[in-house]
Structure 1
Amino acid sequence: MSSFVNSDQIRDLFSQSMSAMYRQEVPQYGTLLELVADINRATLERNPELRQQLQEAGELDRIDVERHGAIRLGTPEELATMRRVFRVMGMHPVGYYDLSVAGVPVHATAFRPVDDAALRINPFRVFTSLLRLELIADPALRAQAQEILAQRRIFTPRALELTRQCELEGGLDAEQAAEFVHEATQTFRWHSEATVSHDTHQLLLAAHRLIADVVSFKGPHINHLTPRTLDIDAAQAEMPRRGVAAKDVVEGPPRRRHPILLRQTSFKALEEAIVFAGDGAAGAHTARFGEIEQRGAALTAAGRALYDRLLGQVRSMGNAGSTGNDYEARLTAVFAEFPDDLEAMREQQLAFFRYAVRDPAALARAAASGAGFDLAALLREHIVQARPIIYEDFLPVSAAGIFQSNLGGAEQKSYASNAAKELFEAALQAPVADEIALYAQSQQASIDAVRSAYEALQPA
């Protein structure tokens, strides 16, 4: 019997395939990769403590492969099948994101690895949005969009066949895995031939640029791939020097000594030539761009509530969204309320931490004393260390800000919050995992490992 390839290896092959394809399709993405590599190298040289922390956490080797993609799907059937395809690669739906609150007519999840070991091997993730046709105000246009989407087939027959085979047999061998990656990559390719006429495209554009992007093409072309930087402010400053037009501000929290959650920036979307269906008229479409991210500590429910409250306060200061010359100053001023000290964040239970034995000999001495396990005491005595758990997920307001800046910055449609998690999960045909629960599990597992090591050293 053939031995199966591990799903982590398939995901690694897929992330490499996607990166090679996008670099060919969007040459500025190659510039972005080089820029980020240079910034990361300089940051690590300047900050040996950060290098040591990443090395101890097993994250140093993954910085260069850490990237995420983003796609937009049109129908529940596409979403349900995409879940099955990503499952072959060990990627599962985590989190529910309502972007309608920021004027973008989609809701989304992130397909990603969920356990710590898989994340260390390759953390590739894809932010996957589903178009919400019910938010198209014009009933006739809504019905037309639905009809257009119903006719397209975004997966190759062979990709579907190999997905079914993996589900039935429990895996794919090396040859099948390579073929699967090749076939799955085809779904995300750019097609310059629109499936709609010029007139229909204009109607869709008028409803929302993102609606036009989803409905007008053969498939969900990858709209960006995002490398991870260790200093996004340096990357933002460097982009114009390398001929890359950066968006005005970095989305997410302000610059901090100890980063939290996710900060994102991007270059302006490309204007790509397209040919319309019917009369073959030439046109242009603006949708695909390059993005850079910096990841910080995962926040607890209390930490996230504080972040959301502060961000809402900034964005309500007489200026909707992350715009205006004074936005960064307002952001920094308001976020002074969020402690920028790891010990304070830990003691106030604002962020999740991973615990590990720092001094095995001292742990053995403490255990030999016969005292019960006391994590706080072991931390005070520097026998155990706590490192922030990296945030692996996304921020809906930041994602919407990136979308809007690249799909025509003034495109703020006035949707109210329209969270519809149950409808999304029905389309997905599966529940989405709670990302905060996953971080809590990782934190507790690390505490349990330290406790086990301590108790194993205690006198019988």
Structure 2
Amino acid sequence: MARHVSCDDIRTRFSSAMSDMYRTEVPQYGTLLKLVADINAQTLYHNTRGEDALTTRGGSEMARIEIERHGAIRLGTPGELHTMRRVFAVMGMSPVGYYDLAPAGMPVHATAFRPVTDEALARNPFRVFTSLLRLELIEDDDLRARAAAILERRQIFTDRLLTLLDRFDSEGGLNDEDATAFVIEALETFRWHSHATVDAETYHAFHQAHRLIADVVCFRGPHINHLTPRTLDIDATQQAMPEWGITPKATIEGPPRRNCPILLRQTSFKALEEPILFPADEGGKSGEESGTHTARFGEIEQRGAALTRRGRKLYDQLLAASRDATHGLEGEAQQRALRDAFLDFPDDETTLRREGLAWFDYQPNEGASVTNVAALPRDRGALVEALIEQDVIRARPITYEDFLPVSAAGIFRSNLGEGGAQQYAATDSRAEFEAALGAAVEDEFALYEQRSERSLSDCLAQLGLAPDA
């Protein structure tokens, strides 16, 4: 029997092929990658501490940054979401977190498909923010019915891909030939198609209701709308973008610049205005009508420490309190006001760890040993602090692997233009989303806690200390 290709390998093959495809479709994406690589090299050259932090885990963190990408797609039906979960399962990616963007003016809710184990994340942390259109938020009854009918008729997956999904499910994996075919077939779902599936009048009706609705409903599939590389200094990247012929959005989304980065900061360049063709019927003869569509853009991100529930609660409180101070501001003025609003959020690793605001993983320092076990505190928390102070173990912040709904909405709005966002009432639709998905989404906080606890237990065991010490 042919040997199965690992899900990690298939994920790497797919993300690489996706990057190549997107570079061809959106040439400015290639410029973005060169810019980020240049900024990362400069950042490491001028910050040896940063390089040490990225190489303390066997070099895996720096290696993963070089290939790290996240993409985003928007789906139209529960059936599409259900099948997409199966597609990502082949690549070892699970749905993590639930994001309701309706309160932020977007008629979608979402999850992020990504690897969840330490080993898989180290190999390739490819993640895809996957939104599902909420048809019930289209207020016009006729427009909502037309959207449902259009989406019901389309098939975004090739027949060959569906066959391969069945094979993966029945056999528990894919051999090398089938894995290659899977990547080719899956790419077709994410490919850009310049031909709309509806006439210009229908497109503009959806576009007027909400630009995201037009983007989801009026095309053959959920074209990947951005691929995001990870930078080590998003402020430097933002400043350098115009020098590389790229116009950035005015404001970086997420927390302010800090000594100890937390969560996720993002910026982007404005969505491309791309030529499309609408089917037309002129005098009984079929033809085509030209038009334009904006959906795909370039995005850059900087990732910091994953916060505990307590840390995230404080972050959300400070973010909400900052809105009055930052309203109407852009650029450095906005960032300065945001930094002032976040002065109450500790900005050193020791305080973040001791106050339980961020998650850390733990490793013994090379050559370290415990010589006087009896003198160590019995309380586990005090024990950890004592070992850190004695330079026996080191603690490093765990990288945040997920997303921020407010930031995602901010990126969406900046690329939709004026009038892109609407007002939608907040409703709890997680149960409906998970029903469509065919699975429960993973709790990101639990994943970080498990990783931290696992690393600490392993660390203490390597030092010969009882897990319950």
TM-score by length of 2: 0.94
Per the alignment, residue 37 of structure 1 pairs with: 37
Per the alignment, residue 65 of structure 1 pairs with: 67
Per the alignment, residue 198 of structure 2 pairs with: 196
Give 1:337's match in structure 2, choosing from 319, 325, 344. 344
Give 2:371's match in structure 1, choosing from 352, 357, 365. 365
**2:303 partner amino acid:** R
Write the distance in 2 (CA, Å) between the matches of 1:299 and 1:318: 23
Contact 2:210–2:421 (CA under 8 A) maintained in structure 1: no
Counterparts of 1:57-456 in structure 2, within 5 Å, are: 57=57, 58-279=60-281, 280-317=288-325, 319=327, 326-361=333-368, 363-367=369-373, 374-455=383-464
Change (3 A) 1:51 1:199: same
Query: How many Å apart are 1:325 and its aligned residue?
Result: 7.5
Contact 2:326–2:338 (CA under 8 A) maintained in structure 1: no
Contact 2:326–2:337 (CA under 8 A) maintained in structure 1: no
Write the distance in 1 (CA, Å) between the matches of 2:291 and 2:238: 31
Query: How many Å apart are 1:455 and its aligned residue?
Result: 2.7
For 2:65, what is the secondary structure of its paired residue?
coil
Query: Could you report, residue by residue, the CA deviation over 1:308-335 in whole angstroms, capped at 9, with x for unpaired residues?
Result: 1111112244837x75874222211101
Change (3 A) 1:379 1:285: same
Write the distance in 2 (CA, Å) between the matches of 1:88 and 1:324: 41
Write the distance in 1 (CA, Å) between the matches of 2:332 and 2:106: 24
Write the distance in 1 (CA, Å) between the matches of 2:466 and 2:206: 67
Contact 1:359–1:382 (CA under 8 A) maintained in structure 2: no
Query: How many Å apart are 1:385 and its aligned residue?
Result: 0.9
Write the distance in 2 (CA, Å) between the matches of 1:269 and 1:194: 18
Change (3 A) 1:245 1:370: closer
Contact 1:297–1:389 (CA under 8 A) maintained in structure 2: yes
**1:345 partner amino acid:** L
| Two-structure CA RMSD over aligned residues (Å) | 1.7
Query: How many Å apart are 1:359 and its aligned residue?
Result: 4.6
Query: How many Å apart are 1:456 and its aligned residue?
Result: 6.1
Write the distance in 1 (CA, Å) between the matches of 2:88 and 2:264: 23
Per the alignment, residue 13 of structure 1 pairs with: 13
Change (3 A) 1:295 1:197: same
**1:81 partner amino acid:** T
For 1:276, what is the secondary structure of its paired residue?
strand
Query: Could you report, residue by residue, the CA deviation over 1:169-206 in whole angstroms, capped at 9, with x for unpaired residues?
Result: 01111111011011101100000000111111111011
Write the distance in 1 (CA, Å) between the matches of 2:83 and 2:377: 54
Change (3 A) 1:56 1:324: closer
Query: How many Å apart are 1:409 and its aligned residue?
Result: 4.0
**1:230 partner amino acid:** L
For 1:255, what is the secondary structure of its paired residue?
coil
Query: Could you report, residue by residue, the CA deviation over 1:289-310 in whole angstroms, capped at 9, with x for unpaired residues?
Result: 0000000000000111111111
Mark the runs of 5 or more structure 2 residues left unpaired by the alignment: 282-287
Query: How many Å apart are 1:451 and its aligned residue?
Result: 1.9
Write the distance in 2 (CA, Å) between the matches of 1:188 and 1:153: 13
Per the alignment, residue 48 of structure 1 pairs with: 48
Query: How many Å apart are 1:376 and its aligned residue?
Result: 2.1
Contact 2:305–2:398 (CA under 8 A) maintained in structure 1: yes
Query: Could you report, residue by residue, the CA deviation over 1:343-364 in whole angstroms, capped at 9, with x for unpaired residues?
Result: 1111111100001111533x24
Query: How many Å apart are 1:117 and its aligned residue?
Result: 0.5
Query: How many Å apart are 1:444 and its aligned residue?
Result: 0.2
Change (3 A) 1:243 1:235: same
Contact 1:244–1:267 (CA under 8 A) maintained in structure 2: yes
Query: How many Å apart are 1:408 and its aligned residue?
Result: 1.1
For 2:121, what is the secondary structure of its paired residue?
helix
Write the distance in 2 (CA, Å) between the matches of 1:198 and 1:345: 54
Write the distance in 2 (CA, Å) between the matches of 1:371 and 1:199: 73
Query: How many Å apart are 1:366 and its aligned residue?
Result: 3.7
For 1:332, what is the secondary structure of its paired residue?
helix
For 2:463, what is the secondary structure of its paired residue?
helix
Change (3 A) 1:371 1:265: closer
Contact 1:364–1:457 (CA under 8 A) maintained in structure 2: no
Query: How many Å apart are 1:371 and its aligned residue?
Result: 7.3
Write the distance in 2 (CA, Å) between the matches of 1:397 and 1:104: 11
Change (3 A) 1:256 1:371: closer
For 1:187, what is the secondary structure of its paired residue?
helix
Write the distance in 1 (CA, Å) between the matches of 2:435 and 2:244: 45
Query: How many Å apart are 1:406 and its aligned residue?
Result: 0.4
Write the distance in 2 (CA, Å) between the matches of 1:215 and 1:370: 63
